[in-house]
């Protein structure tokens, strides 16, 4: 195994002693939906050419990619550039798979600090975000109008719950979300958890209990359906798309589908308990440089990474991936081109990485007890307080 030492990549052609660049550079990404004719793969090829190398790109699905990256590191065959989901960065960094941006001399100065934090561990940065997505509340204007609810009045938990009660009284359904017992459910619970002021190191705090009580009360009062227990973000969206619901907690990636619903929709940030925008978790990938035994390869890898994330290319890439850019300059361009993205830019500015606060690889060990807790509370087998106390005990 070479997880904590330099690993080699034999596909190559940079001579670290002569400084000559050339050969083939491997790029792995989690976008198997894009083929060689896509704008994404054309960009990868162009970035390789600009760096003086040819590129061999392989797309894997997200889960498969993590396992492949760990195995490749053990075998000394890591790709030169690896694009991975942001919570995975700390796992790979802790395993010695990734270089730091300091080692590769990658400039991260323009990146929004809250987005960069998802790729940081113990004071070191292990890549550059290619963009971010996060969560907000979609609403059905027709349903809200019938219930005489102005979405602009939804500023905190109390005003949101009051809106849901008006919608129910008008004969429609309130809010749908995903509370499935997986990371997807945790992703959707976090805006409410963080929006209460709670911290992931203390799941059973009074604030954490308040967040879970909000969800359980919605189910008890019929303001949210029992189907949330099994809903993925996709099936939750399908419920909203029926036109019966006032609100759906969902992400940037549903924008194209929102246009196909046939009803007028809008988007507002998820409110914090006391008002203002709740910190929602960031989704999106980081562009990283895995460790190589031939450190001379890093120069071309850094050029490729810089090319993929520079302002001109990021605008095209993030539009293709339905991401909000990681820099203010490109975010401003996105909003100028599509004013609908303004609320998403605001949500991303308030967002937070799941592995931030130096949680790193501790996060998965917290997330599973957390989703177990909200599943228990929503199903009625435990009170919110009991469920979160059990979760906190299991972490200890």
Phi and psi at residue 60, in whole multiples of 5°?
Answer: -120, 160
Quick check: helix, strand or coil at residue 55?
strand
What are 93-129's pLDDT values in tens digits?
Answer: 999 999 999 999 999 999 999 999 999 999 999 999 9
What are the start-end ranges of the H helices in 231-310? Answer: 233-241, 255-258, 298-309
Query: Which of 3.30.110.70, 2.30.30.60, 3.40.190.10, 3.40.50.300 would CATH assign to domain 24-132+283-350?
Result: 3.40.190.10
Name the fold adopted by 135-280+359-395: D-Maltodextrin-Binding Protein; domain 2 (3.40.190)
* Cα distance between residue 226 and residue 171, in whole Å: 17
Element (H, E) at 214: helix 206-220
Residue-wise over 68-99: b if at least 16 C-beta within 10 A, else e? bbbebbeebebbbbbbbbbbbbbbbbbbbbbb
Cα–Cα dist 25/5, whole Å? 20
CATH topology identical between 24-132+283-350 and 135-280+359-395 = yes
- For the beta carbon of residue 209, count every other beta carbon within 10 angstroms: 21
Give per-residue pLDDT as tens, 179-223.
999 999 999 999 999 999 999 999 999 999 999 999 999 999 999
Is the predicted pLDDT of residue 2 greater than 80, yes or no?
no
Q: Each residue of 254-305: pLDDT tens digit?
A: 998 999 999 999 999 999 999 999 999 999 999 999 999 999 999 999 999 9
Confidence (pTM): 0.86
Report domain extents, the chain: 24-132+283-350, 135-280+359-395
Of 108, 111, 109, 79, the closest CA to residue 92 belongs to: 79
pLDDT of residue 166: 98
């Amino acid at each position: 195994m070479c997880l904590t030492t330099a690993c080699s990549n034999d596909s190559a052609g940079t001579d670290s002693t002569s400084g000559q660049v050339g050969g083939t550079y491997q790029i792995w990404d989690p976008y198997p939906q894009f083929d060689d004719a896509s704008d994404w793969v054309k960009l990868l090829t162009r970035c390789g050419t600009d760096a003086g190398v040819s590129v061999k790109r392989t797309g894997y699905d997200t889960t498969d990619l993590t396992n492949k990256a760990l195995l490749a590191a053990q075998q000394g065959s890591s790709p030169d550039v690896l694009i991975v989901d942001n919570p995975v960065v700390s796992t790979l960094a802790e395993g010695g798979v990734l270089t730091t941006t300091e080692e590769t001399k990658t400039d991260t100065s323009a990146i929004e600090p809250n987005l960069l934090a998802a790729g940081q561990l113990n004071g070191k940065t292990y890549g550059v975000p290619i963009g971010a997505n996060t969560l907000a509340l979609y609403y059905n204007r027709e349903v809200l109008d019938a219930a005489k609810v102005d979405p602009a009045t939804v500023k905190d938990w109390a005003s949101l719950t009051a809106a849901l009660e008006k919608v129910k009284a008008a004969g429609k359904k309130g809010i749908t979300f995903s509370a499935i017992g997986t990371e997807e459910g945790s992703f959707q619970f976090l805006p409410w958890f963080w929006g209460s002021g709670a911290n992931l190191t203390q799941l059973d705090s009074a604030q954490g209990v308040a967040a879970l009580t909000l969800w359980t009360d919605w189910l008890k009062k019929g303001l949210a359906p029992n189907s949330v227990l099994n809903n993925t973000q996709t099936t939750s969206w399908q419920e909203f798309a029926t036109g019966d619901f006032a609100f759906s907690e969902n992400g940037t990636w549903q924008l194209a589908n929102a246009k196909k619903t046939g009803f007028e929709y809008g988007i507002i940030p998820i409110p914090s308990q006391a008002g203002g925008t709740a910190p929602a978790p960031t989704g999106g990938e980081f562009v990283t440089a895995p460790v190589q035994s031939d450190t001379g390869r890093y120069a071309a890898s850094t050029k490729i990474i810089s090319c993929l994330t520079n302002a001109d290319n990021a605008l095209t890439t993030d539009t293709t991936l339905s991401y909000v850019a990681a820099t203010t300059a490109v975010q401003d361009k996105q909003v100028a081109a599509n004013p609908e993205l303004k609320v998403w830019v605001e949500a991303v500015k308030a967002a937070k990485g799941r592995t931030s606060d130096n949680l790193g690889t501790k996060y998965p060990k917290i997330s599973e007890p957390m989703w177990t807790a909200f599943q228990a509370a929503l199903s009625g087998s435990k009170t919110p307080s009991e469920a979160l106390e059990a979760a906190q005990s299991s972490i200890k």
